[in-house]
Structure 1
Amino acid sequence: MRGHCLKLLTRKYSSYPLNTSISRPKTIADLYAKYNAQQPITMVTAYDFVTANWAQAAECDVILVGDSLATCALGYESTNQIGLEEFRYHVQAVCRSPGPAFVMVDMPFGSFESSIQQGVETAIAFMKGSPRVGAVKIEVGSASSAFQEQDYSLKLAAELCSRGIPVMGHVGLTPQRAHSLSGFKVQGSKSAEDAAAIYHTAQQLQNVGCFSVLLECVPHKVSSYITEKLSVPTIGIGAGLGVSGQVLVQSDVLGMAPHTVPKLARKYGDLHSQSVGLIRQYANDVTARTFPDNSKNGFKIKDVVWAEFLERVSCSNAK
């Protein structure tokens, strides 16, 4: 019987139903179980249903719907350009992917800066949008940053945590604040004051209730020190081995784009070249008329139906 059911799910057309049985999603408790066992937490971004399916099938612990999708999947020049509604569309697509991964969502630029109330409403909308969303991530400036953004961001993080909304704080290189940081640069590598500011900001995020802290482009010695001093998991990207887990952008991992990946990433494949080659092969088959193959890709018509069709059209043509 089970084999018969699986046979019914065999793809026959371009659109077909999927088996939507969903396993229990991981929770923060599951992530802490790995953290307490000193097992690295695996985290990767996803942009849509397909990339989320890949991450789920690869058994990653956490899927981050990051605002990096703006530049990596949608063609924007900056992550700051994506609007909230457009971003929420992709969040919904990722959440439709079945699997146990814990889903976390970025707070995109412009969705929380106007006021604490705006930030709370944005976070609530994400959490209400799908039961699969388990937390939000907020970029937070360090104490020595030029415009002191951290005061507002920390207040927002505290407000969200007090309302029971899980928050991951993001420190170090914060792409949404790249202009105030004078570009995409390693943070805390040239000034002890800056390194200490990152450490203190991470401490403050823990103190206001954040369940985890992401460290981006921070020297590995500083990241290791922060991880040792905190009692919440740290996730690193360009932060070395001494953190509780790692996150990478999926397009970098798979080599979806022709350009080289940043130093902080590792390219595990060349999906761009492979995809171009396969599509070119398809186009060549169409040009050579070797695709489609009527015997394999076509659909038959009964002889009696075909004969009746010819009779009908011949009669109509004669009128």
Structure 2
Amino acid sequence: MAMTAQDTAAASAAQRPPASAADSPGGGATGNPKALYGGTRSRRITVHDITAAKERGEKWPMLTAYDAMTASVFDEAGIPVMLVGDSMGNCHLGYETTVPVTLDEMTMLSAAVVRGTKRALIVGDLPFGSYQEGPVQALRSAMRLVKDAGVGAVKLEGGERSHGQIELLVRSGIPVMGHIGLTPQSVNTLGYRVQGRGEEAAQQLLRDAKAVQDAGAFAVVLELVPAELAAEVTGLLHIPTIGIGAGVDTDAQVLVYTDMAGLTPGKAPRFSKKYVDLRRALGDAAREFADEVTAGTFPQAEHTFH
């Protein structure tokens, strides 16, 4: 009888050694000093470490980050990979979609995240319009993120259609993370809906996944993909899969940090989970500060110089 995802998770948990907070910068010990999350190495994570994690069958977390201070918090928590995503357009720069994000904006914020971290692998997104013209444009854009921002890898959207871009970047020494399924830069064509449903769409997603791997990408994001299809892709590829709305069987999971931290207004996406309500906490703190200022109770003697 085939094991369910719950059975697999339970078996893995049973085999895992007891956790010790001292083993990990984030308190998430795995018993393996080489583990991406919970390991004891303090140097920068590299794409070779990502490949080794796949070979070990290790699952790992990835979060987005857009500034040095937030990135430093996640680095101290032990998050091994951070994506400076073009999601900054929605949750950091005030755009309605990711489409308006520029390479200049991406370079500036990627550099900030790199400066705020010591251990995490930083992946910079190639924004819309910075690689669609072809491999040479993609190489110029990726070089800016690597040389000017200091990222360890870049990410770009597309499977078969981006094969040439990925291949040239990798051949030029730039590690590439692919992104298939829902590709937000194509929102005007795809809309925001699950990708890969139906036989024809599923076969196209499988071809896209293989194209990304064959072109030399070190990992691939699967966004809004049926869990069963994501599990099939994960089993077929030798590179890690990173799920967002793609079920539990991918090698890694990524969330937009403002969704995870409860900063995003309105209803959170179904695939996300709010681990803390920072929007409410910051609002309460701001109101308490304002109340004390208007009442004349802040600043007090301990906050005053003479």
Q: TM-score, normalization: structure 1? A: 0.81
Letter in 1 for 2:174: I
What do you get for the CA RMSD once the two structures are aligned? 1.2
Matched, 1:164 2:173: yes
Q: 1:175 aligns to what?
A: 184
Q: 2:68 aligns to what?
A: 49
Cα displacement string for residues 80-137 of structure 1 (whole angstroms, at most 9, x for unaligned residues) = 0112112211111111113211100110011112332211100011111244x11111
Q: 2:249 aligns to what?
A: 242
Equivalent residues of 2:54, 2:238 under 8 A apart: no
Matched, 1:26 2:34: no
Matched, 1:277 2:284: yes
Equivalent residues of 2:139, 2:169 under 8 A apart: yes
Letter in 2 for 1:176: Q
Query: Please, which runs of 5 or more residues in structure 2 have no aligned partner?
Result: 1-41
Equivalent residues of 2:134, 2:164 under 8 A apart: no
Q: Matched residues in 2 for 1:267 and 1:99: separation? A: 26
Cα displacement string for residues 170-205 of structure 1 (whole angstroms, at most 9, x for unaligned residues) = 000001012222x1110012x211111101110111
Q: 1:70 aligns to what?
A: 89
Cα displacement string for residues 241-281 of structure 1 (whole angstroms, at most 9, x for unaligned residues) = 11100000000000112311101111111111110110000
Letter in 2 for 1:24: R
Which among 64, 77, 81 is matched to residue 58 of structure 1?
77
Equivalent residues of 1:31, 1:61 under 8 A apart: no
Matched, 1:210 2:217: yes
SS of match in other structure, 1:81: coil
Q: 1:297 aligns to what?
A: 303
Letter in 2 for 1:186: V
Equivalent residues of 1:49, 1:96 under 8 A apart: yes
Which among 142, 157, 161 is matched to residue 123 of structure 1?
142
Q: Matched residues in 1 for 2:226 and 2:264: separation? A: 27
Q: 1:20 aligns to what?
A: none
Q: TM-score, normalization: structure 2? A: 0.84
Q: Matched residues in 1 for 2:200 and 2:146: separation? A: 37
Equivalent residues of 1:31, 1:41 under 8 A apart: no
Which among 67, 79, 96 is matched to residue 115 of structure 2?
96
Q: CA deviation at 1:43?
A: 0.3
Q: 1:186 aligns to what?
A: 194
Q: Matched residues in 2 for 1:258 and 1:136: separation? A: 28
Which among 133, 139, 144 is matched to residue 157 of structure 2?
139
Q: Matched residues in 2 for 1:136 and 1:185: separation? A: 25
SS of match in other structure, 1:263: coil
Q: Matched residues in 2 for 1:214 and 1:40: separation? A: 14
Query: Please, which runs of 5 or more residues in structure 1 have no aligned partner?
Result: 1-22, 142-149, 301-319
* Percent of aligned positions that are identical: 40
Q: 1:268 aligns to what?
A: 275
- Highest Rg: 1 or 2? 1
Letter in 2 for 1:134: G
Q: Matched residues in 2 for 1:205 and 1:72: separation? A: 28
Q: Matched residues in 2 for 1:65 and 1:291: separation? A: 38
Q: Matched residues in 1 for 2:203 and 2:132: separation? A: 25
Structure 1 pair 206–235 and aligned structure 2 pair: CA distance change class (3 A): same
Q: 1:154 aligns to what?
A: 163
Equivalent residues of 2:103, 2:130 under 8 A apart: yes
SS of match in other structure, 1:24: coil
Q: Matched residues in 1 for 2:294 and 2:90: separation? A: 34
Cα displacement string for residues 7-38 of structure 1 (whole angstroms, at most 9, x for unaligned residues) = xxxxxxxxxxxxxxxx5211112222322221
SS of match in other structure, 1:287: helix
Equivalent residues of 1:35, 1:41 under 8 A apart: no
Equivalent residues of 2:71, 2:116 under 8 A apart: yes
Equivalent residues of 1:258, 1:273 under 8 A apart: no
Letter in 2 for 1:164: G
Equivalent residues of 2:178, 2:219 under 8 A apart: yes
